[in-house]
A and B are shown apart, each in its own frame.
Chain A
Amino acid sequence: MADLAGYRRPDKGTQPEYLHPPYASTSKRAPTRPLIVLPHTLSEVTGPMFGADDVRAEDGDLTRQHNSDPLGERIIVSGRVLDENDRPVSNTLVEIWQCNAAGRYRHLNDNHNAPLDPNFTGAGRVLTDKEGRYRFVTIRPGAYPWRNHHNAWRPAHIHLSLFGRAFVTRLVTQMYFPGDPLLPHDPIFNSTADEKARNRLIAGFDWDTTAPEHALGYRFDIVLRGREATPMEK
């Protein structure tokens, strides 16, 4: 069988390192032995495919999953999923989760003394369209404290999980909001050394996404790894 084209490896600094001491939890969980460079075989360049059966219409609107509207500022988060070769990634699954407007997750282990919202679960999933576009309606998540260091607060963020076309294009990331004063102090946001790469995690306020009389819009484009043009040399 002919060798397959693999996926591009990241440029230095554009992805976090496993060990990032300002983020305390990395110290006992980051690998300490050298990673083995894995060739991209058929196993790596394939991956799970999802379809219309995996999402329901209400999964894309986190404000319509209960009997009443959740509290907080309604927002629209939308963007395109592209690969590093600028091609749209269509029909790929995008899953999101987040805390509510008060900064509380609907999760047993979240002990933050802020109210739960009976009308907000904080989970959504959609498939991208032919042009790689996705769109969620949700509420703006709150900031919340965590115990990483004294008076540590996470900037408002939405977690996103994407698959792409291969198991090696899998991406879990977080989207942040423009102008958040907590960003310069957040060890997780700052774990990506390259400033430009880091700042691409901040959504842009976007008039085109903003719906009149309804919700402010934020644009967040996501780039998944792109395929090499030719098979890697052996």
Chain B
Amino acid sequence: MGSRATASQTVGPFYRIGLEKLYVTDLAPPAAQGDRISIHGRVVDGDGKPVNDAVLEIWQANAQGKYAHPDDAQDKPLTPGFKGFGRVPVDENGEFRFTTIKPGRVPGPGETVQAPHLLIAVFMRGLLIHLFTRMYFPDDPANEADPVLKLVPAERRSTLIARKAGAGLEWDVILQGDNETVFFDY
């Protein structure tokens, strides 16, 4: 047994210097198969004020529900050029926007199958460890039986499900308060 994991520390206010080279706000190459979606939202602090120094990271499967990772042993096709990773900063108003394709369903614990979802990590000054959450899709019949949504108290589940907004989707990260986003102990 080795040492325990190195302690996390905040990204601080100046992460852009180190992280912007790998900003990815359009996750899917033009040829990628699947339903193309545009997602936007805001990051809001405990005073209801926009957070203008946050960066989100996204991890997702392709439209077939396959991760571009050697440990995904499913017999499903990969999408050339689709990594499944996004790194999306907020702007001066605390707003973010990215485009991707809707992921397919992936296996969950036991015999379950998960509803389509994005994994989202949230980094900012004032967070000593990044927050971990998920974004699900509105009106997806698979949400009902999703093994992770089931772990969330019913009255808080809506914070994990995006809303339709025009041709796209809207999903906010609310750090504190009545509508606080569900964050996971990961």
Which residues from chain A sit less than 8 Å from chain B, CB to CB? Answer: 1, 3-4, 8-11, 14-18, 20, 23, 25-33, 35-49, 54, 82-86, 95-97, 99, 105-107, 109-110, 121-125, 159, 161, 165-168, 170-174, 188-189, 191-192, 197-198, 200-201, 222-226, 234
B17 near A97 with CB under 8 A, answer yes
A41 near B6 with CB under 8 A, answer no
Q: State which of A15, A44, A121 has its C-beta within 8 Å of the C-beta of B7.
A: A15
Interface size on B, residues (CB 8 A): 74
| CB proximity to A under 8 Å, residues B107-154 | 107-111, 114, 117, 119, 121, 123-132, 147-148, 151-152
- 22 example contacts (A-B, Cβ-Cβ < 8 A) are as follows A1-B111, A10-B4, A25-B126, A28-B47, A28-B175, A29-B46, A30-B175, A35-B185, A36-B182, A37-B151, A37-B185, A41-B108, A49-B68, A82-B3, A86-B2, A107-B14, A107-B17, A109-B14, A159-B11, A168-B132, A197-B4, A201-B9
User: In whole angstroms, how far apart are the Cα atoms of A148 and B96 in the complex?
Assistant: 27
Given A35-B185, A110-B14, A172-B11, A30-B127 contact (CB < 8 Å): yes
A188 near B186 with CB under 8 A, answer no
- Collect the chain A residues with CB atoms within 8 Å of residue B17's CB: 97, 105-107, 121-123
A43 near B61 with CB under 8 A, answer yes
User: In whole angstroms, how far apart are the Cα atoms of A97 and B9 in the complex?
Assistant: 13
B21 near A123 with CB under 8 A, answer yes
A31 near B183 with CB under 8 A, answer yes
B1 near A84 with CB under 8 A, answer yes
A1 near B107 with CB under 8 A, answer yes
Given A16-B128, A28-B46, A95-B18, A188-B3 contact (CB < 8 Å): no
Given A41-B107, A44-B119, A17-B128 contact (CB < 8 Å): yes
Given A28-B126, A28-B176, A107-B17, A159-B4 contact (CB < 8 Å): no
- Whether a CB of chain A sits under 8 angstroms from the CB of B167 is no
- Collect the chain B residues with CB atoms within 8 Å of residue A124's CB: 18
- Collect the chain A residues with CB atoms within 8 Å of residue B49's CB: 28
A223 near B46 with CB under 8 A, answer no
Given A25-B125, A84-B2, A42-B107 contact (CB < 8 Å): yes
